[in-house]
Amino acid sequence: MTDPLNPLIVQSDLTVLLEVASPKADDARGELARFAELEKSPEHVHTYRITPLSLWNAASAGLRADTVTAALVEYAKYPVPESVVHEVRDQMGRFGRLRIVRDFDSGGLALTSGEPALLAEVVRDRHVAELIGERLDGNRFAVRLGDRGSLKQALIRLGWPASDEAGYADGTSLTLDVTCELRLYQSEAVEQWWTDGSAAGGNGVLVLPCGAGKTVIGIAAIAQCGVHTLIVATSISAARQWIREILDKTDLDPSLIGEYSGDHKDIRPITVATYQVLTWAHPGIDESADLFERHPHLALFDQRQWGLVIYDEVHLLPAPVFRATARIQAVRRLGLTATLVREDGKETDVFSLIGPKRYDAPWRELEAQGWIAPATCTEIRVELSDDLRMEYAVAEPQQRYRLAATTPAKLVVIERLVALHADDHVLVIGQYLDQLRAVAALLDAPLITGQTSQRVRDERFEAFRNGELTRLVVSKVANFSIDLPEANVAIQISGAFGSRQEEAQRLGRVLRPKHDAGTAHFYTIVARETVDQTFAANRQRFLTEQGYQYAIVDADEL
């Protein structure tokens, strides 16, 4: 039964078209977000794609194939192709048919399946064969403890995501109580990650918007596990924010929390490290050397009996930490992020090494409940001057984005927007340092970049938090994990090309609920008919999937 007023057109190539004008569009978008990925988001029709990974994540979160197909049928304008129904059932049915379990006789692990033919098929693969040992019995192969992560990666590349049910090392115990009350969705996120402490639980990724309290969720996970915990954060500022939140929201003695960064190397029962220090490479060691010889600080993973590792902004995991993660699969793992999008296509590595997506909170749903600030998104288009247009036209392709993104025409718009929001807390965010210095001079505002000392960063962020500063110009160092609750206007002037994850993070700087329950404003200034405009369209895809709409205006309309 179909309805011509329904918003979805489901196609046999696993793309799904969503008609934005339909009164059922928001409901359909909410369903699609659970098992499909947004690809294109022009004004009237958005394109989603159902992928194996999106279906495996749905299956791991407890979604059934029948539920997925029922949602497609409910909102489809025309009959859903049978090939799509079969593909959904096939891919979701693949998850968990191979299992990694504990072999109690040897103390190691085993790869097993209730289907001998499937097991025989995968062990013949060259990469899998290198990671398994002898046949233990008719349907089990020995697996070395250190190959647990690598085996999961090899299997997922074959299209057979394994269910990791081998359990985890207990880690050294640590008792702490959370002294704040968790919101309902925060409790649900921890519960779905923990899954009653079962062998298949205690690993995976929780996806929530910036400002929704991911740090509190991480703290609740530590309390749930009750073990020594290593937290990996994106910067020293983010690490210290974690430490402040732990001290504020638990009864833990401060002496039990350590910072492991470029400034300090304190290893305590709860240690907060930075990705930068962990991935520091010894300049005198060849790249072909052993992982831990080249990156000596990665040994931190082995220096205590950790029972839990938390990866903040898990979508940013750098390659050395990915490889180290494969070595510590016996430790429970929690990934926190606002978006699982990785522009390098390594989402499957996050799935196999950290764990599947366990919880995904829709941004607009939390907005409707008042947990994050409502936001308007506006793209403002400027014209290149005649001289710059010619320079752009004859430039090499790799130079064109910088020329377009840093056009002086954007300075006029910035000045108008700041005047328009004279009573607000405004962040101007960009990519290019010379452009940011010009903006800081124009606005007579402080600037924070990667070259700014940690002491000065902390002072300026704190001054912005307490209202001494209402204007701040920041580079990409402020993209992640910086708590600026009263920031309610963000002006984006340049970015990392077409990065969807960066767009989500930058909007997140202004999404924390405001004391006056006011609306946040997110502006992107774009050079018309250039790659700047093309990249902006790509950047907006993730937020459009979350239900945000971008108004597009010309600069002279301000």
Tell me, yes or no, whether 117 and 215 share the same domain.
no
Residue 211 has pLDDT above 80, yes or no: yes
Residue 75 has pLDDT above 60, yes or no: yes
Does residue 171 fall inside a structural domain? Answer: no
Q: Which of 361, 388, 410 is the last residue of a domain?
A: 361
Task: Quote the pLDDT of residue 43.
Answer: 67
Averaged pLDDT, 79-90: 96
Task: Quote the pLDDT of residue 480.
Answer: 65
Averaged pLDDT, 30-34: 87
Please report, for the chain, how many H helices and E strands are present, in that order. Answer: 23, 23
Show Cβ contacts of residue 342 under 8 Å, excluding neighbours closer than 6 positions: 315, 350, 501
Tell me, yes or no, whether 36 and 70 share the same domain.
yes
Does residue 453 fall inside a structural domain? Answer: yes
Does residue 332 fall inside a structural domain? Answer: yes
Does residue 144 fall inside a structural domain? Answer: yes
Task: Quote the pLDDT of residue 539.
Answer: 81
Tell me, yes or no, whether 67 and 146 share the same domain.
no
Q: What is the pLDDT of residues 136-149, one digit of tens each?
A: 987 899 999 888 98
**Cβ atoms of residues 121 and 108 within 8 Å:** no
Question: Which of 289-298, 320-329, 415-424: highest mean pLDDT?
Answer: 415-424
Question: Which of 59-63, 262-266, 510-514, 527-531: highest mean pLDDT?
Answer: 527-531
Tell me, yes or no, whether 299 and 203 share the same domain.
yes
d(CA 327, CA 16): 39
The end-to-end CA distance of the chain, in Å, is: 48
Does residue 174 fall inside a structural domain? Answer: no
Number of domains in the chain: 4
d(CA 33, CA 27): 10
Does residue 411 fall inside a structural domain? Answer: yes
Tell me, yes or no, whether 278 and 302 share the same domain.
yes
Sheet holding 132-137, edge to edge: 132-137, 140-143, 108-113, 98-103, 163-164
Tell me, yes or no, whether 393 and 341 share the same domain.
no
Averaged pLDDT, 338-359: 80
Tell me, yes or no, whether 401 and 306 share the same domain.
no
Q: Which of 78, 94, 110 is the last residue of a domain?
A: 94
Tell me, yes or no, whether 188 and 265 share the same domain.
yes
Averaged pLDDT, 44-72: 91
**Cβ atoms of residues 415 and 400 within 8 Å:** no
Averaged pLDDT, 453-482: 86
Residue 481 has pLDDT above 60, yes or no: no
Residue with tokens 């049978």: 82
Per the model's pLDDT, the better-predicted residue between 285 and 453 turns out to be 453
Residue with tokens 């009996």: 305
- The token pair at 229 is 């915990």
Q: What is the pLDDT of residues 248-265, one digit of tens each?
A: 999 999 999 999 998 889
- The token pair at 46 is 């958005």
Task: Quote the pLDDT of residue 415.
Answer: 96
Tell me, yes or no, whether 433 and 545 share the same domain.
yes
Q: Which of 94, 109, 130 is the last residue of a domain?
A: 94
d(CA 114, CA 140): 10
Tell me, yes or no, whether 306 and 291 share the same domain.
yes
Show Cβ contacts of residue 386 under 8 Å, excluding neighbours closer than 6 positions: none
Tell me, yes or no, whether 188 and 322 share the same domain.
yes
Strand partners, 538: none
Tell me, yes or no, whether 147 and 216 share the same domain.
no
Q: What is the pLDDT of residues 422-456, one digit of tens each?
A: 999 999 999 999 999 999 999 999 999 988 998 99
Does residue 176 fall inside a structural domain? Answer: no
Does residue 172 fall inside a structural domain? Answer: no
Domain span at residue 442 reads 367-557
CATH number at residue 539: 3.40.50.300
Confidence of residue 167 (pLDDT cuts 50, 70, 90): confident
> b/e map of 352-389 (b: 16 or more CB within 10 Å)?
bbbbbbbbbbbbbbbbeeebbbebebbbbbbebeeebb
Nearest one of 137, 162, 148, 149 to 109, comparing CA atoms: 148
